[in-house]
Every structure is written in structure tokens, then in C-alpha cells.
Structure 1
Amino acid sequence: MSVKENEKLFSYCNQLIAQFEQVIHQPKKSKLECYYTGVDLGTSCIVLSVLNENKEPVAGAYRFADVVKDGMIVDYLGAIQIVSELKQKLEEKLQTELRYCAAALPPGTLALDHGVIRHVVEGAGFEITALLDEPTAANEVLQIQNGAIVDIGGGTTGITIIRDGQVIEVADEPTGGTHFSLVVSGAYKLPYEEADLFKRNVENHQELLPVLKPVIEKVSTIVTQYIEPHEVEKIYLVGGTCCLTGIEKVIAAKTGIPTYKPENPMFVTPLGIALSCKQQILV
């Protein structure tokens, strides 16, 4: 897909992400001091995104962490501490209290883990106003009418089928960026932490793509399994693992379905979560 085609397909998405990337470094105070926060508790990264009354990005912060495994929180106190610290950091920059937030979970885990997620954000000092699944949040930004959203996070791959703008099926499988890092660790004889950093460096992506092709193809096989019963014409990638340069080409070749991704797929879901935030507490 050409640059122009990408810009047209992800016009709103890429614009929103570009604004968010800018305010991570240079926050903008809202004149009305009306803020909506999204809390994304990812397997490898926790992201807080803050929007103003017009749902425009005004601040953001993130931290790589390992408090979540395969989409489930395994370090409850650690998660609260990180969210609290990021919240305080943003409040100092915006010179106000961030009160309301939305949060999200991998598809299919809402009934299992929603209480823990809620306790984490409330433990960090937020009042939660919405709790939704990650692909639904992602589509707040992507605005896809038909197709499959594939969210390759740190621990899991979420697959969501969208028809006429509505979610008709969701699935979540325990394969993600953690497995990519394990492959890099084995191939380069590196400790896991060093392999994970090596994988994130865009300068290494061209070299890594052939090394990671088998695990990408495994993800593609999982995706194919879930989308085969549906008439899916396009696949849209989100999630930090999809930042790997060229991953969309491997998935398209394996699935036989055109596959696209925005300029920075890492921040799609966090921004969608913030867009779902309200000023009415969830009961």
C-alpha cells in the first residue's frame, strides 16, 4: 500500500496518534480543565492517554512493565503503583487532578478479569466510567466498518470481526510479542530483557523479519482460523508488536487477505480507551 493510500485509510487514526505522540513530550492544558483518561494495562507496556473536552490528545505517558501476563494481571500491587505514578506525573504536568478514566481488557476476558482491572484503576485514584474490550476501543480510532481487527499485544493476539461497524465475534489467543522476544533471545543468545529491547529497535527490524517470520506465520494461522467463517476482505493491525516493520506483508502473504496498519499501531487502543471515557461513574 502506498503512503497516500495509508494516509487515506487511516486519516483520523494517524492524525490522532501524531497529536498524542507530540503531547507525550509537550502536554497541553485544557482551558476548561475537563479531562478524559484512558488506562491501557498491556502485557509489556502500560499507557495513560489524556484527552480534553473536545476529545483531543493533551497528555500521555507510558512505561514498559511486566505486571500482566497473557492478558491477565499477575502483579496487582505493581500495576497500581505504576498507574499511580504515571497519573501523578501527568497531573503535575497538567496542574490538575485526573479524576475520570476508562479501561479495557482483551476480548473474551471481561467476565473473568474486569473486577481486577477496576480495582487497579480505582486503587490508583481514578473513578472508572467505562470498561470495554480492547478491539472495541481500537475501533473508536480506526473507525472500521467491515473487516478484522487483529491486536497483537505483548502476551496475546486479539481478533475481532467487524460488520457494518459492529463487533460480531471476538477471540483471544496466547501468542504475542513475548513469544517474538523469546525467538530473538534464542536466535541471538541474548537474555530475554536484552532481546526485547533489540526487537523494539526499528534499526534491527529488517534483520529480524526473517528470524521472526515463523512466529508471525503462526499468528497468521491463528487469525485465519477465526476469520475463515466470515467474509473478511481486509485485516487491520494494532498493538505494540505490530510496530515491527514488514509484519503486515508476512500476514497478508500467509492469510491471502490484504493487511494494513496505521503509522504507529502501539497507541491505537490506548487512545480508543480514552475516547470511551465519560464523566459518569460506572456502577
Structure 2
Amino acid sequence: MEKTNGAFQYCDQLVREFEKVVKKPILSKSSVYYTGVDLGTAYIVLAVLDENYQPVAGAYRYASVVRDGMVVDYIGAVRIVKELKQELEQKLGTELIYAAAALPPGTFSLDSGTIKHVVQGAGFEITNLLDEPTAANAVLKIKDGAIVDIGGGTTGIAIVKEGKVVYVADEATGGTHFSLVIAGAYKMSFEEAEQYKRDFKNHRELLPVLSPVIEKVSSIISRHVNEYRVKEIYLVGGTCCLSGIEDIIAKQTKLPTYKPQNPMFVTPLGIALNCTQEIL
């Protein structure tokens, strides 16, 4: 279900502003620009904020340089981030210096160095590196509940108590698995299934086909939240754009489940909000 008052008021307003500047950047000068780099399994997103942490520009591109939360094509990742950086710099008429990035929870020891090198290799000074659900909560501003980031390769979970993240987890089930199911059911290639999944007109038809995978995601969520007595679930991540996914998760977990109007841009904006001028 959508939660238009309270929790998502700031979130939805920020996302709406970001969607506008993706199409038409704000060109008024800022003393500094803060960039969030979100290296997703399906998309790479750059979100740029001004000195007051308001959206001024953004860009994204479909990419397959990350798998299950890990960078598998380093050169390709650097190239795409660099190209998006240059595209935004040209539009804004300025150099973008500072950037923050994020990883799925629990992968810092495995991939934090790679993510840092991708961002630096693209020409940024990296100022922060945090886990994705924590980044998302900079936008959601949840005091108590579970933030569930369903991306292309993984489902990340952050449990928040009194405004602080007390537990994080990440498991390898996400949008890639949705596409594999669609490809099998409709005798499509994986790429065709990805395109079919992104078209909102197909979501009602796809929901019954994808229910078993959504139920698996729900069981992952339940396993991690039960002992913390979580009362509400908040969904973010590109895979959550699937219409009706929140209703199935709510039914399976027996917990009220909410998602913002566009869950795809919550995490990159949260990453940008955590960007500073202090180099790592």
C-alpha cells in the first residue's frame, strides 16, 4: 500500500523534484555539488544535489556490471559512471568533484574497495561509503521498522529502532530472478524479459507469474525481522516498482508494507544526502 502522509511526504517530494531535474537540470550556480553514485544490478544512477542538498541534476543507465551486489565488470562500471559524470557536468557547466556510494549490507569486507575504486576511477573524490538501506533511510526518515531494498540481484534489509539501524542483512534474490522466471514462462530471452518486466502495462499480468519469487523474498524478510518485533515494512529499490508487490509481501509477512511512489530513486538520493566534502 502507499503511505502518502507522514513517512513518505518528504521522500515523495524529493523524488518528484529529482525526476524533474533528470529531464531538465537546474543551472543556477552552487558553491559545491554532492553526487550519489548507485551501482545497481540493473541500473547505475547518479543523483546530484546542490549546497543545500536539493536535487539539481541526475542521470541513469541500464547496466549489467554488478551481479548479486558485487562488481563483475570493473572497467565497464568505471566507463559508465565516467560517461554519466561527464554528461551531467556538461549540462551543469561545472565539474562534479565529490561523490558518495553504497553497497548491499554485509558486503563491505568483500566489495567496498572495488566500489571505491570505481568511483575514483570515474574521476570523483569519494567522501562516504555506506550500506544501501541506511542510505535509503536518509530519504525515508523511518524511526522504527524494516527498510527492504529489493534490487536487481539482492534483497537488503535494515532494521531501524528509534531512528538508528540496529541490524542489516542481504540475500541473493531480486529482480534478476524475476526476469529469469518471466523468461522461462514466456519463452523469452533474459533481455526481452527485462524489457517486458519494466513496462507497467504488463504488471497485472505478471504478478501471478512472479508470486512464487515474491513469496521467497517475503520469507527472507520474515526470517530477518521476526526476532526484532518489526511492526512495518518499507520497500525501496527498482524491483519494487512492480505494481502490487507490496500487497503480496504484506500478506506473506503479515506486516503492513509500504512503498513510495517511485522506489527506484530513493537509495541514490539517500547516498547523495550522505555526501560531504571530507575525502575518505
Is the shorter-chain TM-score for this pair beyond 0.5, marking a shared fold?
yes
Contact 2:139-2:269 at 8 Å conserved across structures:
yes
Do residues 159 (structure 1) and 157 (structure 2) align?
Answer: yes
Residue in 2 that maps onto 1:198 = 196
**Alignment equivalent of 2:22, drawn from 21, 24, 29:** 24
Q: Secondary structure at the match of 1:228?
A: helix
Q: Secondary structure at the match of 1:78?
A: helix
2 CA distance for matches of 1:263 and 1:157?
19
Identity within the alignment, % = 66
Contact 1:30-1:52 at 8 Å conserved across structures:
no
Give, in angstroms, the shift of residue 8 of structure 1.
3.5
Residue in 2 that maps onto 1:268 = 266
Residue in 1 that maps onto 2:126 = 128
Do residues 57 (structure 1) and 55 (structure 2) align?
Answer: yes
1 CA distance for matches of 2:13 and 2:33?
20
Q: What does residue range 73-88 of structure 1 map to in structure 2 within 5 Å?
A: 73-88=71-86
2 CA distance for matches of 1:7 and 1:263?
12
Give, in angstroms, the shift of residue 33 of structure 1.
4.1
Give, in angstroms, the shift of residue 231 of structure 1.
1.1
**Runs ≥4 residues deviating over 3 A:** none
1 CA distance for matches of 2:31 and 2:142?
31
Task: Give the aligned residue type for 2:86.
Answer: Q
Give, in angstroms, the shift of residue 258 of structure 1.
0.3
Task: Give the aligned residue type for 1:175.
Answer: T
2 CA distance for matches of 1:70 and 1:188?
24
Contact 1:7-1:14 at 8 Å conserved across structures:
no
Do residues 90 (structure 1) and 78 (structure 2) align?
Answer: no
Residue in 1 that maps onto 2:239 = 241
**Alignment equivalent of 2:108, drawn from 103, 107, 110:** 110
Give, in angstroms, the shift of residue 98 of structure 1.
0.2
- Taking structure 2 as the reference length, the TM-score comes to 0.98
1 CA distance for matches of 2:153 and 2:61?
16
Residue-by-residue CA offset, 1:65-106 (whole Å, 9 max, x unaligned): 000000000000000000000000000000000000000000
Give, in angstroms, the shift of residue 31 of structure 1.
2.3
1 CA distance for matches of 2:43 and 2:147?
20
Q: Secondary structure at the match of 1:277?
A: coil
Q: Secondary structure at the match of 2:217?
A: helix
Task: Give the aligned residue type for 2:35.
Answer: T
1 CA distance for matches of 2:251 and 2:93?
49
Q: What RMSD, in angstroms, separates the aligned Cα atoms of the two structures?
A: 0.9
**Alignment equivalent of 1:212, drawn from 191, 210, 229:** 210
Task: Give the aligned residue type for 1:105.
Answer: L
2 CA distance for matches of 1:121 and 1:49?
13
Residue in 2 that maps onto 1:40 = 38
Residue in 1 that maps onto 2:180 = 182
2 CA distance for matches of 1:30 and 1:103?
25
2 CA distance for matches of 1:32 and 1:218?
45
Residue in 2 that maps onto 1:99 = 97
Which consecutive residues of structure 2, in runs of 5 or more, have no partner in the other structure?
none
Contact 1:70-1:174 at 8 Å conserved across structures:
yes
Which consecutive residues of structure 1, in runs of 5 or more, have no partner in the other structure?
none
Task: Give the aligned residue type for 2:11.
Answer: C
Contact 1:145-1:165 at 8 Å conserved across structures:
yes
2 CA distance for matches of 1:8 and 1:226?
25
Q: Secondary structure at the match of 2:275?
A: coil
1 CA distance for matches of 2:15 and 2:103?
21
2 CA distance for matches of 1:74 and 1:211?
29
Task: Give the aligned residue type for 1:139.
Answer: N
Contact 2:44-2:60 at 8 Å conserved across structures:
yes
Task: Give the aligned residue type for 1:280.
Answer: E
- Taking structure 1 as the reference length, the TM-score comes to 0.97
Residue in 1 that maps onto 2:139 = 141
Give, in angstroms, the shift of residue 9 of structure 1.
2.9
Q: Secondary structure at the match of 2:10?
A: helix
2 CA distance for matches of 1:84 and 1:11?
33
1 CA distance for matches of 2:77 and 2:179?
22
Task: Give the aligned residue type for 1:202.
Answer: F
